[in-house]
Structure 1
C-alpha cells in the first residue's frame, strides 16, 4: 500500500501581502524550490557547459564561516594537478555568435538516438503493479533544448560533458543537499561522482600516500579496504558498539600513536559509514556523530562520510504483533526524523560527504555526488576531468527527467518515504524470522535502524569444538554447514578493516534487501538449522520436524 502523499502544499497568489521566505533561512521547503530558481541563459545548459554548484543554491551562506584549507593534507599527485586544459575552452561555447572549430565534440547528427521514453511511477503510486497500470511515460527528444521543450536533451546529454556532471542535474543535486543538510559553512560545493566507490578512490588519491593508515570501523565495507590496498594504504579498525564507531577508542588510538612503532605517520583520514553501516547495520545517533566530529577536530582528521543508506532509515522496530508506528505525515516530519548528517555539523569543511542514487533508485545509474569545501571539490573536479570525465550522460538524462521534470523535490521525498516503509517491512520480516528460528543460546542481534543488513553475533565459546578449533576454523565450519542447508550468509571476517589485527568476535551478515519475504524467512530457518547442527543442539526446525529434507531437497536436522 503506498504511503500517504507527504507534499507540503502552500498557496501562493499574485495579490499583495504575500510573505516571502527569509533568504537566510534554510533548509527551504520542497515546494518552494522551483519558484526560487534563478533565471538562467540557455547557454548554461549547452553541450559541455561548465557549472558551479554555488550558483544553484537558494539561501544566503555568506554569513557562515569559510572552510578550513587542506593544502597540508593533499597528496603530491593532487597538488600537481592543473586540470584539463582542453575543457577550459568550454566556457566560451555560450558566447553568442561564436563559431566553434575548437573542441572535439561530435555532432549529434551522428547519434543514432532520436527519442528516449521511460515509464515511471506517478506520486504516490510507486509499486511495480501500480506503475504497470497507471505509470506515466516521460520522454526526451534529440533537440528539446533548441525547441524550448526542455533544458536537457539527447544531443546535450549524450555528448561529452564536464567532470562536474551536467548543470541540469547538478542544480537538482545542489538544491537537494541544501534542503536536507544545509552545511554550516559558506563555501560548500557539490560535484557528481561515478558512484561512491569511485569517489572513495579519488579521495584516497587526493589525501593519502603510500604507507599511510586511514581509520575506519573495525568491521567495514570490504571494497573500501580493497580500494585502498593497491595504493599502499592500510585501514586500521576502531572498536564499535551497536551504534558503530566508538569516539573514545578513536581518540585513544590517535593520542597514543607512535610513528616509530606503527611504521607510519599518524592517520588523518577517517572513512565511516554512519547510517546502516555495511556490514553491521549500525547507525550513529546524533550525539555519537557530534562526539566523532569533536575527536576529528582535536586531531585534525578529515572525514569521508559514505552515506548510501542514509535514506534507508526505517520506522522504529516495535516487535511481533505490536502496532506499527505511523509513517511521516509531511516532508518536514520526514526530514526531522533523519539523524543529522556529519555534513550538517561540519563547521570546518573537514567532511567530504559521498551520496549515491545506488540504494534508493538504481545501482546501474552509476551516479552519485560529493559535497565538500570549494577547495576540495575543485581538486576533485580536476581529477575527474582527466579520468572519469563525469558520470554517464545517458544516466544523467534519465535521472533528470525523473527527478527534476517529473517528480520534483516533493515527489522524490514521497518516494523516499515509500522505500522507508518498504525496507521497514523487510527488516521486520527478517527479525521475526530470527525470533522464530534462530537458537538464541548461540546467536544474538540488535534490530537495525537503517540500511540493508542484519548483523548476527555468534557465541562461539559455547561451541563444543572450541577452543580446539580456532575462531576462523569455527566460522568456516558454520559457513559451510549453512551452505549445505541451502542458505548463504556472509562471513564477518570478510569485513575486517585490518585482517592482521587480533579478532575475538564472530559475526555473520544477512541482507533483507532483495529476496522475497517468504525466501527471507526460509533462509533464516535454514541458517538456524545449520547453527543447531554445528553446535550440536537439539530442537525442532521451526516446522515441528526433527530431520528429513525440505521442499528444495536440502537437508534438515
Structure 2
C-alpha cells in the first residue's frame, strides 16, 4: 500500500516481493524544511562545508554509487595531495579555540565596513523597475557575529576553502538537486571561477600530452585553445540541427586507429548540449540518451558544459504568429527544460559545468561543477593550490541576492524572465533574417536555446568560388560584412580540428550583444553585404 500523500516518500518495486522506500525529489517547498531539520548553518572563516548535510543525507541513500574513474585519472591528478594548511581549518570549529595557525589576515585590517547592492524585487526585473524600486541589500563586517546574517565581510573577504563558502555552496547544492536530482548517491558540487577554468582543471585531471578529446565538429573556440598547450587535440564529431550525432560518435570510437591517428582511443567527450556554441543547436532528451548509451558502450567520460541551459526559449512560431506565453508555475518551467546529462547519469560519468555568466553576470566569475565525490575530491585538490576559491566578494553578493533575497523560487522567476527576454531578442533577429537575408544563398534554423544564430552560406554560388579556397572566400565575405558596419564571427574560428577537411561555410551571429533596437539594422547590413558579394539584386 502506498504511503499517505502528505509523506515525502515513494515506494518502488525492486522485484516481485521486494520494495524500497524512495524520498521524492527536492521541491522548493522542501528546502526550508530541510534547513530547519539540519539546524542553523554556522560557517565562519575558511569553514569546511558539510556537503552530505546540504544534500539531505538519507534522501539519496536509495541510489547507486558512482563508478570509480581511477583508470582515467592521470598522474598529476592522482598525485595531488591538496593544501595541507587548509586541512587545519576543521579545527577552527572547536569552541573557544584561539588560532595561531593559519595565515588569515585579521578582518580589522580589511578597509571595508559595509557593502550595499541594489537588485530587482521578485517579479519586477526590468532595469527601470530596479532603478526606481529595487531592493538595497547590505552586508556588514560582523553580521555573522551579530547574528544578522549567515555570511558577512569578515568571512567572505578572507581566505576560504576550494569548495567555496558553505553558505553559497548549500544554495548551489539545493538548486542542483531541485533541477537535476542526479540519479546516483555520491554526487557533490564544487564552486569554480567559471566553466573555462573548470574545463582547464578537468583536462589537467584526465589527459596526457598527445591525447585526443572528442567534441562537436564546430565547438567553443576557447575549449580548443585551452587544450592545445597541453598537447591535446580536439577531434570533431558530426552534428546536425539537434547537435551531436550519436551514430557519428559511435563510428569515430568504433573505428579508432591508434597508429593512423597518432593517439590512444579517446575517453573524454566535451559537449555543449544546450544552445551549443557556436551552432545554437540543442540536443533533445532522446538525443542525450542516445549519446549517453554510446558513452557507456565505449566507457567515455562526459564533460557537460552548460552555460546556456537556462536560456532555453519559447518555441519559435514565425514572424507573424502570437507570442507563446511563459510557463505559469515553477513546476511547469522546470518540466519544460530538456533533461541534462547529469539528470540521466546513472554511472557518475558526467562532470557538469554550470555558470552564472549568462544568467547573472560574467564578471562575477562564479560557477560550479557537479560530479561524483571521487572526481570532486580530485578537482578540489587542484583548486586548493591554484585558484584557491572564487572571489569572496562575488560569493557574498550572490549569496545576498540568491539566498537571502530571491530564494530558490525568486531565482526561478528570474530565469523565466531571462527566457522571455532572450526569446524576444531571438524572434526579432529571426524576423529580420526573413526580411533582409538572401535566401538564395543563406539558410538557418531557429535556435531553441542559447545566444547564437548559425547562418549557412552556399559559397558555391559565389562568382569567385572556383578561383579561391573556402578560407579565402570566407575572409573576403567577412571583410565585406565588416565594411558594411556589421560584425559576425567566422565559422572557421570554431573548428574543433582546423586540420580536418571542411566543405561548408557558416557565420555565427548573436542576439545577445547588440542593443535591442539595433538588431534589425545589423541584419540588414549583413544582408546587404552578402548580396553585394554574390552579385544579387539589392533590396
Normalised-by-shorter TM-score class: over 0.9
1:409: Cα distance to partner? 0.1
- Which secondary structure state, in structure 2, belongs to the residue aligned with residue 251 of structure 1? helix
Question: Can you give the 5+ residue segments of structure 2 that lack an aligned partner in the other structure?
Answer: 11-21
In structure 2, what is the equivalent of residue 222 of structure 1? 221
Is residue 2:57 matched to residue 1:56?
no
Q: Single out whichever of 154-163 and 514-523 deviates more from structure 2.
A: 514-523
Question: Can you give the 5+ residue segments of structure 1 that lack an aligned partner in the other structure?
Answer: 1-16, 541-557
- Which secondary structure state, in structure 1, belongs to the residue aligned with residue 170 of structure 2? helix
Contact 2:8–2:24 (CA under 8 A) maintained in structure 1 = no
Deviations along 1:226-249, one digit per CA (max 9) or x if unpaired, are: 000000000000011001111100
1:31: Cα distance to partner? 3.0
Q: Give 1:48-87 correspondences, 5 Å limit.
A: 48-58=46-56, 60-87=59-86
RMSD, aligned CA = 1.3
| Counterpart Cα distance in 1 of 2:29 and 2:417 | 18
In structure 2, what is the equivalent of residue 155 of structure 1? 154
- Which secondary structure state, in structure 1, belongs to the residue aligned with residue 191 of structure 2? strand
Deviations along 1:353-412, one digit per CA (max 9) or x if unpaired, are: 000000000000000000000000000011100001110010000000000000000000
Q: Single out whichever of 172-181 and 52-61 deviates more from structure 2.
A: 52-61
Describe the shift of the 1:218–1:318 C-alpha distance in structure 2 as closer, same or farther (beyond 3 A). Answer: same
In structure 1, what is the equivalent of residue 434 of structure 2? 435
In structure 1, what is the equivalent of residue 317 of structure 2? 318
In structure 1, what is the equivalent of residue 113 of structure 2? 114
1:53: Cα distance to partner? 2.1
| Counterpart Cα distance in 2 of 1:141 and 1:460 | 60
Q: Single out whichever of 96-105 and 19-28 deviates more from structure 2.
A: 19-28
Q: Give 1:80-99 correspondences, 5 Å limit.
A: 80-99=79-98
**Number of residue pairs the alignment of both structures matches:** 524
Q: Give 1:281-430 correspondences, 5 Å limit.
A: 281-430=280-429
Describe the shift of the 1:18–1:353 C-alpha distance in structure 2 as closer, same or farther (beyond 3 A). Answer: closer
Contact 1:164–1:191 (CA under 8 A) maintained in structure 2 = yes
Contact 1:181–1:341 (CA under 8 A) maintained in structure 2 = yes
In structure 1, what is the equivalent of residue 16 of structure 2? none
| Counterpart Cα distance in 2 of 1:43 and 1:340 | 31
In structure 1, what is the equivalent of residue 8 of structure 2? 21
Q: Single out whichever of 447-456 and 41-50 deviates more from structure 2.
A: 41-50
Contact 1:27–1:180 (CA under 8 A) maintained in structure 2 = no
Is residue 2:113 matched to residue 1:126?
no
- Which secondary structure state, in structure 2, belongs to the residue aligned with residue 219 of structure 1? coil
1:135: Cα distance to partner? 0.5
- Which secondary structure state, in structure 1, belongs to the residue aligned with residue 189 of structure 2? strand
| Counterpart Cα distance in 2 of 1:447 and 1:249 | 23
1:39: Cα distance to partner? 5.4
Deviations along 1:519-545, one digit per CA (max 9) or x if unpaired, are: 1111100010110010011132xxxxx
Deviations along 1:433-464, one digit per CA (max 9) or x if unpaired, are: 00000000000000000000000000111111
Deviations along 1:485-518, one digit per CA (max 9) or x if unpaired, are: 0000100000000000000000000000021222
Q: Single out whichever of 486-495 and 56-65 deviates more from structure 2.
A: 56-65
TM-score when scaled to structure 1? 0.93
TM-score when scaled to structure 2? 0.96
1:44: Cα distance to partner? 4.1
Contact 1:123–1:414 (CA under 8 A) maintained in structure 2 = yes
Aligned with 2:31 (options 21, 30, 33): 33
| Counterpart Cα distance in 2 of 1:32 and 1:54 | 16
Describe the shift of the 1:306–1:109 C-alpha distance in structure 2 as closer, same or farther (beyond 3 A). Answer: same
